[in-house]
Amino acid sequence: MGFPGTWMTESESMVYRVVPKCACSTIGQIMFYSDHGRFFDGDIHDSTAGLHKWAQAASQAPIEANVRAHRSFTFTCVRNPYTRILSSFFDKICGIQRNGKRYRGKLVPMLVQKYGIEVGSPDNGFEFDQIRSFRRFLLFARDTIRWNRPMDPDIHWSSMSGHIATMIANGGRYDHIFWTEKFDDGMQAVLDRAPTPHTVDLANIPRFNESEGHGPKRAHPVADYFDDLSMHLVYEIYKRDFVLFKYDFENPANKMPVGGIDLDEVHAKLGG
């Protein structure tokens, strides 16, 4: 299986397990900058040089050798499951992608037909009932994760635990897992431990939100999207994420963690 979703600086100063919708664009650009003293010109997900990625065949041997020997500081980043699934909905389901098309071609028309989801369009200013459509999307996301129907779960809404577990299952170990909601503190802890060729001043690093501006703005507070049923669905899908990464299931309005992440617990529970 190897180490899917793993990125490593060419200098091997740090290793990062990508978790979609958890500041991965910003983290990738920081890694690129820390080696080259400049940012990648474009979306870091499109880079094919300057940063080792498991998806690049030439990068697999150096990544595997490093991770198995645990030669570099290894980390990942997580996000509140409520805000992460909302972000996935607005970006991937409602938004227009970088190529000017809808995500995954026929996915959105299928959701409109099978689940009655509305997504609006640039022509009408993305006007639609966001809360109703999001709750129907949650049913779809649950169906993909629980029963792999009507399709396999997409990486943007499959659980963070599932992404993070692949490295552990194949012999890797994390030195640090931090929260998107406390990004500067968490990323600084990585930079303090990683011998980067170029110094990174986090205070002056822009946030690279590649999905911003391509779809509707969220029209309501986070908690308004989650009634009792949708909270139940979110917990059914993301129970391990709430437990391991210490987020508040009881209150969707509270995006902040309520405890510290126990790395030993994460490795024990995700290593089986």
pLDDT at residue 45 tops 80: yes
- The predicted-structure confidence for 213-239, as pLDDT tens digits, reads as follows 577 889 999 999 999 999 999 999 999
Residue pair 106/150 in contact by the 8 Å Cβ criterion: no
Residue pair 214/97 in contact by the 8 Å Cβ criterion: yes
> Of how many residues is the chain composed?
272
pLDDT at residue 157 tops 70: yes
Residue 35's pLDDT band, with cuts at 50, 70 and 90, is very high
How confident is the model at residue 211, as a pLDDT?
60
- The predicted-structure confidence for 110-132, as pLDDT tens digits, reads as follows 999 999 999 877 777 778 999 99
Neighbours of 269 (CB within 10 A): 15
pLDDT at residue 19 tops 80: yes
State both tokens at 266.
């994460």
How confident is the model at residue 96, as a pLDDT?
83
Residue 241's pLDDT band, with cuts at 50, 70 and 90, is very high
Q: Which of the two residues, 2 and 74, has the higher pLDDT score?
A: 74
How confident is the model at residue 74, as a pLDDT?
98
Neighbours of 169 (CB within 10 A): 13
In this prediction the pTM is 0.95
Residue pair 179/79 in contact by the 8 Å Cβ criterion: yes
How confident is the model at residue 213, as a pLDDT?
59
- The predicted-structure confidence for 57-110, as pLDDT tens digits, reads as follows 999 999 999 999 999 999 999 999 999 999 999 999 998 887 888 899 899 999
- The predicted-structure confidence for 172-229, as pLDDT tens digits, reads as follows 999 999 999 999 999 999 999 999 999 999 999 988 876 655 778 899 999 999 999 9
How confident is the model at residue 155, as a pLDDT?
95
Mean pLDDT of 160-171: 96
Task: Give every CB contact of residue 192 below 8 A, 6+ residues apart in sequence.
Answer: none
| Every domain of the chain and the residues it spans | 82-154+216-237
